Amino acid sequence: MPAPALIPAALVANVLRPANQSPSNLGRPLDVAGHSHVVQPQTMDWIPTRFPGCEYKTLLFDRATGLVTSLMRFAPGAVLPDHEHVEIEQTYLLEGTLVDLEGPAAGIEVGPGEFIWREAGSRHSAISPNGAVTLAMFQIPNKFHEKDGRVSDLSGADWAELWGPLP
């Protein structure tokens, strides 16, 4: 897959800050080039998505492949609308619950300490009845199926323009 031409700035805003800008650096290295990279989510701001009550902090983003690891926070009642997992998605629930609203797994509920993974091509929408915080890992960003027929990414940008032809 070719490297995406356009990447929403918010997706990588907090990941690319220099280590010396971290308030808790305390003189220790946070990055060892070509080896290890420490991310401090507690120093990062939550970034709102276009979906009310859904926010994220990007922990890892690989521009060339689309690999994403992020913390996601859902306010009580927040809905992540109709989306498709292009490749395997993995989610570990740190707090709260997520419930599938639509799709073959409608009604499945995941709670604190539980891990769910979804197969490539799976499609659903989800709600967090009482709020939630998750650790989410994507091999490539999700496709959001808009009501007008467009396919976009989390930011609302055209998915195919960023990630290549629709499979």
**111 and 123 in contact (C-beta within 8 Å)?**
no
What CATH number corresponds to the domain at position 126? 2.60.120.10
pLDDT at 82 over 50: yes
Residue 40 in tokens: 């401090």
pLDDT at 28: 62
Residue with the two structure tokens 């997706």: 11
Domain assignment present for 37: no
Could you tell me if residue 53 is inside a domain? Answer: yes
Using pLDDT thresholds of 50, 70 and 90, give the confidence band for residue 76: very high
In a domain, 162, yes or no: no
Give the pTM. Answer: 0.78
Q: How many CB atoms lie within 10 A of CB 19?
A: 14
pLDDT band at 54 (very low <50, low <70, confident <90, very high): very high
Looking at the domain assignment, is residue 7 inside a domain?
no
Number of domain units in the chain: 1
Per-residue pLDDT averaged across 93-122, rounded?
92
Distance CA(76)–CA(96), nearest Å, equals 9
**Residue of 58, 54, 52 lying closest to 37 (CA atoms):** 58
For residues 127-138, give the mean pLDDT.
95
